[in-house]
Amino acid sequence: MDHYTKLILGLDLHHIANSLMSIMCVLMCITSCGKTQRVSSQSHTEKVEWGYETENGPNVWAQLSPEYFLCAEGRHQSPIDLVNPTPAKLPPIPYEYHPTSMNIRNTGHTIEVACPEGNWIEVDGTRYELLQFHFHAPSEHTVAGKPFDMEAHFVHKSEDGTLAVVGLLIESGRHKDAFDPIWSHLPTVPGETQRIENVTKDGSLIVDPRLMFSPNDQVEDVAPSRFGDYYRYDGSLTTPPCSEGVKWIVLTTPIEMSEAQIAAFKAIFNGNNRPVQPLNGRKLFMDTNEDG
């Protein structure tokens, strides 16, 4: 082997050794990077999801995530006890809801009905689009300390992102037809979605949010389409992250649902209610309009 060949071979060997080292480094990096990813995704799934049990319920929501700090530190929280309201001449709240197809989802915290665009209420001259409505059992708001069997929340959002929620208290009594399409499709498993298609029954569409507000399941009862007789205060979401700046409208007159309807919901969710929060100097108004 002459000097030149020796030199080439030496270079090659050196090159090969270097390449092997590089490959090993890359392999080690891939392995350890993979490990890091696995560890972080593992700790992510171990994060406690909020709920209503002792270990993840309302008393500890703020401890579950820094994003939930308002659940403990907020001063304008919901729900509240509706007691000693200030009588006021509040304007009736115009609304426009339409019968339509809707998706019903079990979120793991409630049964939520997602609404398509075109349903709205108007508060203080601002329009709020209905996003969804959902249910709590027992009620979240209480009236002079008294809880109701259930409460429905109709969640609306304005163009600037402000939320307005209409609360509907529900007590045990007569069967409520308006909820039949939803109650016959109640998704029992978290994450499960059911879809109610437009189906006509006696010439009318069966999923009609307007009827939920009518004592007799008659659209005429709620015409003209204005909510009257309501409590009004500024509060928050009643679930994490407990964001404030929510305009609350709770109708003073409860609606009735049958024991069987209430039991069907409670078989899936019983106790998905946050306890009442202190008023902390906020004003609670009650509408005194006779004609509202």
**Residue 137 Cα distances to 79, 175, 241, 242, 245, angstroms:** 13, 17, 20, 19, 24
Q: Name the segment binding Zn ion (CB under 5 A); options: 7-15, 60-68, 147-155, 219-227.
A: 147-155
Name the catalytic one among 98, 109, 175, 185.
109
Min dist CB 193 to Zn ion, Å, is 19
Rg (C-alpha) for the chain, rounded Å, is 28
CB atoms within 10 A of CB 145: 9
In the chain, which ranges are E strands?
81-82, 86-88, 93-96, 102-106, 111-114, 120-123, 126-136, 142-143, 146-147, 150-157, 163-172, 193-196, 200-201, 204-205, 226-227, 230-236, 244-251, 255-257, 285-287
- The residue with its CB nearest to Zn ion is 153
Min dist CB 136 to Zn ion, Å, is 5
Considering only residues 76, 105, 141, 153, which one is a binding residue for Zn ion as defined by CB under 5 A? 153
Min dist CB 37 to Zn ion, Å, is 36
Min dist CB 171 to Zn ion, Å, is 17
User: Between 76 and 153, whose beta carbon lies closer to Zn ion?
Assistant: 153
Q: Name the segment binding Zn ion (CB under 5 A); options: 9-17, 145-153, 242-250, 252-260.
A: 145-153
- Whether residue 153 lies in the annotated active site: no
Instruction: Tell me: does residue 210 bind Zn ion (CB under 5 A).
Output: no
Do 78 and 249 contact (CB within 8 A), yes or no? no
User: Between 105 and 153, whose beta carbon lies closer to Zn ion?
Assistant: 153
Catalytic residues: 109
Contact residues toward Zn ion (CB under 5 A) are 153
